[in-house]
Amino acid sequence: MGEETTQLFDSYGRPLRHLRISVTGRCNFNCFFCHAEGYTAPPNKDLELSLEEFRVVAEAAKRVGFIDYKLTGGEPLIRDDIGEIVDIFASVGGRVSITTNGSFLVKRLKVLDPGKLDHINVSLNSLDREKFKKITGVDVLDKVVEGIRAAYEAGHRIKINFVVLKGLNDNEIEKIVDFASKYAFRLQVIELHPVGRAKGEIFSKHHGVASHVYNVLKNRVVRVRYRSGLHARPILVLDNGFEVELVLPVKNPIFCSRCTRMRLTWDGKLLPCLSWEGDPPVDIREYMRGAQSFEDKVSRVVEAFRKANRFRRPNHMYTLTTKDAPVVVKYTMRLGLPKSNGTLLFVGDSGRSHLEKYLMEWND
């Protein structure tokens, strides 16, 4: 332990900062549009990563420069050791958060330490009981709302996730903003992504355009700012100071040019992108096979991250004819910085300070 961090960059100059970790494939909801985090293998509790494996992953992740860990699923609060998983990633100094459907929040609050979790994202796609049931397949809206209130009162920072579904919940934007303003520091409005169950017919039927959200809120927007790192996501600042973050991945080269993410499946495979087609290209368990000591396992998982990083590429890229390119010249110019084996080449003191400045910008 105690090895130095070597920040990984992909061949487009994008640093690897955010690790999205599915801790389980199991879920008590059955959302009709679920992308399953890009991995649709049937859930199997016996194949889920163990605490021991998470300790190795956390140490290796720190060494390749990850700073942010998002625990997701399936439903992450299904695991009764979720508090220990949070502790493991918090102990390597990263920012840790959870994305949950909220239905087990009340039950799990005692093991979730607000001092170790940066925030909890709670998915809430309707405040109407019937619609909630139609979307999730379960009649537990009250339980989720109760969980949000309880987590808020316990001192957690809450972010509400709302996937816009045309013809289903797109008339609830103002209602969800009002609800979220009471309990959350931010509302995240997510564009439906054509992955997993949301491919094909479901996408054609329910994909709503981002401008709809903006049009509904525009009289209340006093400022628009952008996250400097993760996907350069726009944040609408409303007249009461409340923030609405827009997650707009579809056909969006800006989103992809600022992507800092990799994903770990519940059975230990690395996915370079949510829209990755086919099997995940790297299996950390294969890399660890035969390794005896903790240190040996960590070095091998570092290699697994390096390998998976070589598969990263923006899902949507600029073409020379795109009309959008001029407005993002800052980002396009940054893509393709000099590098060797996934590591940027900056030497000497001025190089190091340049690199630090560059990384600060991607910290968000």
- Considering beta carbons, is residue 129 or 223 the nearer one to ligand SAM? 129
- Considering beta carbons, is residue 198 or 256 the nearer one to ligand SAM? 198
- Cα separation of 98 and 21, whole Å? 9
CB of 152 to ligand SAM, least distance (A): 17
Cα dihedral across residues 73, 79, 82, 85: positive or negative: negative
- Cα separation of 183 and 78, whole Å? 23
- Cα separation of 220 and 349, whole Å? 46
- Considering beta carbons, is residue 27 or 270 the nearer one to ligand SAM? 27
Tokens of 292: 């005896």
Q: Are strands 68-72 and 269-271 parallel, antiparallel or unpaired?
A: unpaired
- Cα separation of 189 and 208, whole Å? 11
- Considering beta carbons, is residue 203 or 318 the nearer one to ligand SAM? 203
- Considering beta carbons, is residue 59 or 68 the nearer one to ligand SAM? 68
CB of 320 to ligand SAM, least distance (A): 30
244: phi then psi, degrees, rounded to nearest 5 = -120, 115
Closest CA to 275 of 30, 1, 37: 37
CB of 291 to ligand SAM, least distance (A): 30
CB of 247 to ligand SAM, least distance (A): 8
- Considering beta carbons, is residue 27 or 67 the nearer one to ligand SAM? 27
- Cα separation of 345 and 318, whole Å? 25
CB of 161 to ligand SAM, least distance (A): 4
Establish whether the linkage from the previous residue to 74 is cis, with ω within 30° of 0.
Answer: yes
> Under the rule (CB under 6 A), what is the footprint of ligand SAM?
27, 33-35, 37, 72-73, 75, 99-101, 123, 161, 163, 190, 192-193, 195, 198
What SS3 state is found at 175?
Answer: helix
CB of 195 to ligand SAM, least distance (A): 6
- Cα separation of 200 and 220, whole Å? 34
- Cα separation of 250 and 106, whole Å? 34
- Cα separation of 114 and 87, whole Å? 11
CB of 237 to ligand SAM, least distance (A): 22
CB of 304 to ligand SAM, least distance (A): 23
Looking at the chain, how many residues does it have?
364
User: Would you say 49 and 23 are in contact if contact means Cβ atoms under 8 Å apart?
Assistant: yes
- Considering beta carbons, is residue 18 or 35 the nearer one to ligand SAM? 35
- Considering beta carbons, is residue 100 or 257 the nearer one to ligand SAM? 100
